[in-house]
Structure 1
Amino acid sequence: MTNYELLARQLEALLDTRDWLTNAAQTCAFLMQEVPRLNWAGFYLQRQPETLSLGPFQGKPACNPIPFDKGVCGDAARSRATQRVDDVHAVADHIACDAASRAELVVPIMVAGHVWGVLDLDSPVEGRFSEEDQAGIERLVRIFTDATDLRAW
């Protein structure tokens, strides 16, 4: 079981700048190091309308770009709601960047009512993400957004 209370305190201490790029890179590295059974952790950013572009990440090379109408990341951006998928291979429009990925958790990041981007976590373990994981990762995303000046990018 992951201790998200401890991870929250550690991430708060780690993010000691307001710079979005530094904090995004640090957050990805932290998640890959501290959250078990991940094979990818990264940000996709909305830099063009209805499209997510690859941002800082840890893991194998990734798909880019991702339209809002495709895949789990697109669903999260379009719906502005966290997507937790036990088996990505059962999702008709899943974008398979790494065939080893089985489960996915994607949290949208909102700034002033607009989609800034998403945090995407992949796991090679089917059913990897529980409700507790979702709540814990959503809290870590809030720590990232509170620590970071997302309007300055």
Structure 2
Amino acid sequence: MKNMLLILFFLHALGIVFLLHELGFRFNFTDSMPHGIYQIVPGKPERGDLITFSLAEENPYFQISLERHYLGLNGNRPLLKKLAGLPGDSIKISAEGVCINSKLLPHTQARSSDRYGRQLPIFLKSTVIPSAKGLALSTYTENSFDGRYFGLVNMDQVRRVIPVLTFKFGG
């Protein structure tokens, strides 16, 4: 009887997780944004909105990301970032970080290696963002795997996200 109750509990919990996923809820336990629950919502993303997207397979970083598990252990996990740049915006890359339309964004200095000492190629260059592209960054932490490295994303692939419940682990 005890085993049957335990099985029913886990089946119900699993059902709730699948239902939440179908309703657009996502869980973030990475450090590039606050940990917590986020929800995909309708609407065209605007500058400063949180977005989610998967790295395109044709992106030069895609294979590196899979090999190094930047996108999770099981493949191409969607990323959660802030939409920092839109078509027509001017991007300038410097030692201080990323400037969008002459405004330096916090925590955007690119690192030359990841936490395991592996070289981080940088594909983002100073440019004007072309139509249908955007720049996804995390200004929450300097250790994020974001557009500083993999470059611009296709705007038709990004979805707007809102935080539902966020929290901070540790200090």
TM-score between the two structures when normalised by the length of structure 1: 0.30
* Larger Rg computed on CA atoms: 2
Structure with the larger helix share: 1
